[in-house]
Amino acid sequence: MRILSGLQPSGRLHIGNFFGMMEPALKLQHEGDAYYFIADYHSLTSVHDGKALRSYVRELAIDFLACGLDPDKCVFFRQSDVPEHCELSWILSTITPMGLLERCTSYKDKVARGIQASHGLFAYPVLMAADILIYDSDIVPVGKDQKQHVEVTRDIAIKMNETFGEGLFKLPQPRIQEATAVVPGLDGQKMSKSYDNTIPLFEEPGPLKKKIMGIKTDSTPVEAPKPVEGSSILALYKLVASQSDYDAMVADHLNGGVGYGDFKKRLLQGITDYFAPFRARRDEIIADKGYVDKVLAEGAEKARAVARKTLSRVRDAVGLG
């Protein structure tokens, strides 16, 4: 079973990325043949600063390794080290109906949020299809916002198979973990950089405290019971707390007598404790000069060997070269 997923290096990773994609992906690295990559070609649609992009790539690699990605168990690489993705993307784009891309909601969302409406942004799902199909992936662990893109990938694969021969591409399945399909941000909307509501994975203690204590709450008095539904404090606490601590916080909401300040303090402690071991590992990785470059170089070599093979099969089928 081949598992594949990617993350964009377009800023600091947040706990939505962690619980929505990284944690499920980390579990799956023990269950199959996993390929995880840093989608830097995709990030060019929003990051137009070479120095910044390079540093985001590095930070993302460090963070993913710190969270438990094991380069002996899976292939971890940078997308732009495998330029075959771009060639396949072009081939796929020639059979991708415009309507399929026009229906993608993320293009419209991103433009509405101020990202430049470029051709690359519009064609983004085709490059994503190439990322997935070039490794003959079976399963793609993602958060809910990427589901439509995996469905587009399936549609493109079906069209390629109908046009150039059945069996040319495997049809991948999205794998979405229901409980963390949409991790809420500080304001209760989906956690996303463009909503400015994120909790970065490795936020420093001072800014982390400021963010958590600044979560907007209603004006229910301390003594009164508090609503459980729609509480982003509770939803976030559920991700990091033990079941008994979470149940205790729910009970304190229902019974009243405990204020929001107290709930926020528990959430802050929960997040700090949950990520503490990863933070320690992160410091070790940063101190180990050359480690990240070595991992990415080895990953690129392995990924490229697979990608080249698929691309040559596709070139053959479509009549190139």
Q: Is 7 in the site for ligand TYM (CB under 6 A)?
A: yes
Task: Note every long-range contact of 203-209, with CB atoms under 8 Å and residues 24 or more positions apart, other chains counting.
Answer: 205/272, 208/268, 208/271, 208/272, 209/268
**Residue 170 three-state SS:** coil
> Between residue 83 and residue 142, which ones bind ligand TYM under the rule CB under 6 A?
128, 131-132, 140, 142
CA dihedral 259, 229, 145, 133 (to 10 degrees): 110
147 classed as catalytic: no
Q: Is 160 in the site for ligand TYM (CB under 6 A)?
A: no
Q: 167: which 2 tokens?
A: 């069996």
72 is in an annotated binding site: no
131 is in an annotated binding site: yes
Q: Is 174 in the site for ligand TYM (CB under 6 A)?
A: no
- Which of these is catalytic: 193, 211, 226, 238? 193
Q: Is 6 in the site for ligand TYM (CB under 6 A)?
A: yes
Q: Is 143 in the site for ligand TYM (CB under 6 A)?
A: yes
302 is in an annotated binding site: no
Q: Does the CA dihedral 309-314-317-318 come out positive or negative?
A: negative
Closest CA to 235 of 189, 279, 280, 277: 189
Closest CA to 160 of 102, 83, 94, 99: 94
Q: Is 67 in the site for ligand TYM (CB under 6 A)?
A: no
Q: How many residues bind ligand TYM (CB under 6 A)?
A: 25
Cα distance between residue 192 and residue 187, in whole Å: 11
Q: 226: which 2 tokens?
A: 């508090």
Q: Is 74 in the site for ligand TYM (CB under 6 A)?
A: no
Give the interface segment with ligand TYM, choosing from 16-24, 241-249, 253-261, 307-315 (CB under 6 A).
16-24
Q: Which of 23, 26, 35, 42 binds ligand TYM (CB under 6 A)?
A: 42
Q: Where on the phi/psi map is residue 290: left (φ > 0), alpha (ψ -120 to 50), or beta?
A: left
Beta bridge partners of 200: 14
Give the interface segment with ligand TYM, choosing from 65-73, 175-183, 250-258, 306-314 (CB under 6 A).
175-183
Give the interface segment with ligand TYM, choosing from 3-11, 203-211, 214-222, 255-263 (CB under 6 A).
3-11
**Nearest residue (CB) to ligand TYM, 133 versus 258:** 133
Query: Which residues are CB-neighbours of 10 under 8 A, at least 6 positions away?
Result: 43, 46, 47, 56, 193
193 classed as catalytic: yes
Q: What is the DSSP letter of 22?
A: I
Residues that bind ligand TYM (CB under 6 A): 4-8, 16-17, 20-21, 39, 42, 128, 131-132, 140, 142-143, 145-146, 180, 182-183, 190-192
Give catalytic residue positions. Answer: 110, 190, 193
